Each structure stands twice: as C-alpha cells, then as structure tokens.
C-alpha cells in the first residue's frame, strides 16, 4: 500500500511539472483571459484592392483602422512597391495611428512620393503595393506579420491589418485601334520553349493564351473585333531571360518585349 501511495504522489508531481513547463512555453498572446498579456488586436477595412495603372493618378487608398480592445497604443504601417515579387522601392513609413477607430486616406501620388518615386507613373501594371502593419499594445506587446497567427489569435480575418496588398492591374490597350488581326511572334533564345510562360489576350473578358512548348519560335494570330476592350498580359515561367516576343497590331508594329518581360504589355 505504501508503494502504491508513493507512486501516486510521484505521478501528481510529474503532472504538475508538465503543466508548469507548458505555462512557461506559452506565447503571451495566447492568454486571452489575462488582461495584462492580451495581444493588441487591430482590424482594417479598405476600399478597392485591385486598380488599373491608369486609375492611380486620380485614386486614393482609403481605410478604417479599429482596435478590438482598449489596449492598443498605436498602429504603424509601411508601404513597399514590389515588381515580380522583389522590392522595387521602399519600405517607406506611411502613417501612425494612435486613436481608434481612425480613417486614413492617401492618394496614390502621395504614396509614390513617400516611396521616393518621381511620379505615380512609375507604378505600373503588374506592380504590387504591399502594406505591413505593426500594432503596439499599451502593455508593450507588439504584433507584426511575423508573430501573427490565426490559430493562436483565433481571428484570421485580422491579418490584413498586418500584411495586405493593392495589386496594380494592366490597363486596356488604347494607344492603337485594336480592331483587326494581331500578329504574335514568340522567341526562346535557348530553343526549348517558354518553360511554362504564356501570353494572354483578353478580348471583352475572354482569355486566349499563346505559348511555345518547345523550339525557339512560334507565330500566332488573333482577330480582335473593332471597339473591343483588349488587355495583353504576360505570365512568367522559368528562365525568363530567354523569353521575348514581338507584337504587330492592325496598325503595324506594336513593340518588342523581353527578355524578362513584365506582366503588362502597355
């Protein structure tokens, strides 16, 4: 009986040790019931997240920032211009909010200036504007995209306050009459095709893709109705330095593109 009693005491002590270790390892932002350690949760509601490059000069980024609890001292946001997944400009400090809820508004020319660009025209189709937020709590706790977790905080919809983007889409072709036959000449300098890349003509919302699966070149044509809305986009693959293409509009030569073509033709 004495041995059984000793085993029971030992098991209880071991259980207490496990609980103690778990408490020590907890991320303080998991402790929802502890007011002193509650994470500074912030939410943001924004307007359009996709804009055409031609809309930027007359558009603005508008948002409302709110705090779920009265424990947020500030929310700071930076902006970076990305091209092809790489930073092309920034990051640049955009604003700091210390009262909630708050409305913020910046024209895209103002954002371009914050990034050190000479003009908003330097933000082109295919670019991404990435906004990264940092929330600092009254207790000193800090939340960024790096330590944010939907599974820990239980509020996955809050992530946009810490990492959100505005995508700059291509603008429609307007500098030539689009109606008629377009010629597309595709080239690969290595001679093994476009490695997963392709060119897309979007005519009145309908996509047609062009690529070469092998070889060094290919020629294609597409007929575009007069007055149609036409977008021409390039989707990258591997070995982008090998890829070039030439377009001929119904009016004549339209341009040579590549190597390393950008997303938008115009």
pLDDT in the model for residue 137: 93
Q: Are the C-beta atoms of residues 165 and 49 closer than 8 Å to each other?
A: yes
- Over the range 170-180, which residues count as b (16 or more CB within 10 Å of their CB) and which as e? bbebeebebbe
pLDDT in the model for residue 97: 97
pLDDT in the model for residue 266: 78
Residue whose C-alpha is closest to residue 213's, from 188, 234, 236: 188
Strands (E), 72-113: 72-83, 86-97, 102-107
How does DSSP classify residue 28? G
Residue with tokens 């938008």: 264
3-state secondary structure of 118: coil
Q: Are the C-beta atoms of residues 237 and 254 closer than 8 Å to each other?
A: no
Strands (E), 204-250: 206-210, 217-224, 230-235, 243-249
Q: Are the C-beta atoms of residues 147 and 162 closer than 8 Å to each other?
A: no
CA separation for the pair 7, 39 (Å, rounded): 41
CA separation for the pair 91, 78 (Å, rounded): 6
pLDDT in the model for residue 150: 54
Please state whether the predicted TM-score (pTM) of the whole model is above 0.75. no
CA separation for the pair 260, 237 (Å, rounded): 10
Taking only the tens of pLDDT, the chain with its 266 residues reads 444 444 444 444 444 444 444 444 444 444 344 566 677 888 899 877 889 888 999 999 999 999 988 999 999 999 999 987 788 999 999 999 999 999 999 999 999 999 999 999 999 998 999 999 999 999 898 989 888 765 444 455 567 889 999 999 998 999 999 999 999 999 999 999 999 999 999 999 999 999 999 999 999 999 999 999 999 999 989 999 999 999 999 999 999 999 999 889 97
> What sign does the dihedral 156-157-162-165 (CA atoms) show?
positive
CA separation for the pair 41, 142 (Å, rounded): 10
């Amino acid at each position: 009986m004495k041995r059984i009693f000793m085993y029971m005491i030992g098991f209880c002590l071991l259980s207490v040790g496990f609980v103690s270790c778990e408490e020590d390892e907890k991320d303080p932002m998991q402790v929802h019931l502890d007011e002193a350690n509650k994470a500074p949760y912030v939410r943001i509601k924004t307007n359009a997240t996709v804009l055409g490059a031609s809309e930027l000069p007359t558009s603005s980024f508008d948002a409302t920032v709110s705090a779920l609890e009265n424990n947020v001292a500030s929310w700071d946001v930076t902006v970076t211009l990305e091209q092809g997944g790489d930073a092309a400009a920034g990051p640049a400090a955009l604003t700091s909010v210390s009262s909630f809820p708050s409305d913020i508004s910046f024209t895209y020319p103002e954002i371009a200036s914050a990034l050190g660009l000479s003009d908003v025209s330097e933000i082109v189709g295919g670019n991404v504007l990435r906004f990264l937020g940092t929330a600092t709590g009254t207790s000193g706790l800090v939340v960024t995209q790096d330590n944010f977790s939907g599974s820990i905080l239980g509020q996955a919809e809050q992530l946009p306050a810490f990492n959100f983007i505005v995508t700059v889409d291509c603008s429609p072709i307007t500098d030539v009459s689009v109606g008629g036959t377009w010629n597309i000449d595709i080239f690969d300098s290595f001679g093994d095709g476009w490695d997963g890349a392709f060119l897309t003509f979007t005519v009145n919302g309908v996509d047609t893709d062009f690529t070469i699966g092998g070889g060094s070149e290919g020629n294609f044509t597409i007929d575009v109705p007069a007055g149609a809305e036409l977008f021409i986009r390039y989707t990258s693959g591997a070995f982008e330095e090998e890829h070039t293409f030439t377009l001929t509009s119904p009016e004549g030569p339209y341009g040579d593109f590549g190597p390393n073509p950008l997303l938008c033709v115009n």
